[in-house]
Amino acid sequence: MKTFFVILVLCTSLLSCSVLPEAEPADIYQLPPSTLTGAAAASVLSGLRIATPATADSIGGTRILAMVGDNSFQAYPDARWAAPVPQLWRDWLLNAFWQDGRVAGLSASTDGLQASVELRGMLRALHNEVGDSAGVALIQYDAQLVDTATRQILRARRFEAREPVAGTSAGQLVAALGIAADRIAVELIAWTLSEQ
């Protein structure tokens, strides 16, 4: 019995020790806030629900990615998004629509609130495309406007923006993605509110 107790204490001691180095702290990034300003027009749409977009598994996590010449992804070391990319994009779009001010009632699909129209889609890219230079920030979003009562697609369109990256750091990529996101937001909001 005494031998068993000694072995148990030794095993517990060994398990509490780790030979692995401690993980380096990562820099956590958000997309820069939209620079859109409030529109002068009154509310055009009474309710809009913004869905978390679908994404490929490769870009759906929290890693900040670059696509290199052989069409493979590499992650920026010690850098992460503050949330998984689909949620990050949805929340950024919500903020852009709030800043525009022409939708009276905005909600996320996770809120479970009623809205007459839902903006949903597929986020196909939110990364750096690296070629011979520091690269190009790319956002590609296939948007759909859906009537929530009938589940009918009212219209669909692909939005894409590219912005040169000023350097090789994750922070410089994030800044370029913020500029690209703003360009998409201008077009996306106008498209969403047209013919409403």
- Which residues have CB under 8 Å from 35's CB, separation 6+? 182
pTM for the model stands at 0.83
Structure tokens at 85: 């990319």
Mean pLDDT of the chain: 86
Angle, alpha carbons 119-120-122 (nearest 5°): 145
CA–CA separation, 102 and 37 (whole Å): 11
Q: For position 10, what pLDDT does the model report? A: 47
Q: What is the pLDDT of residue 28?
A: 95
Write the DSSP assignment of the chain as a string of letters. -HHHHHHHHHHHHHHH---SPPPPPPEEE-PPPP-----SS---BS-EEEPPPEE-GGGSSSEEEEE-TTS-EEEEEEEEESS-HHHHHHHHHHHHHHHH--BS-EEEGGG----SEEEEEEEEEEEEE-SSSS-EEEEEEEEEEEETTT--EEEEEEEEEEEE-SSSSHHHHHHHHHHHHHHHHHHHHHHHHTT-
Structure tokens of 9?
A: 């204490």
Domains, the chain, ranges and CATH? 50-193 (3.40.50.10610)
Task: Work out the pLDDT band at 103, boundaries 50, 70, 90.
Answer: confident
Under the banding of pLDDT at 50, 70 and 90, the label for residue 196 is: low
> What sign has the CA pseudo-torsion 190, 191, 192, 196?
positive
Average pLDDT over residues 120-127: 96
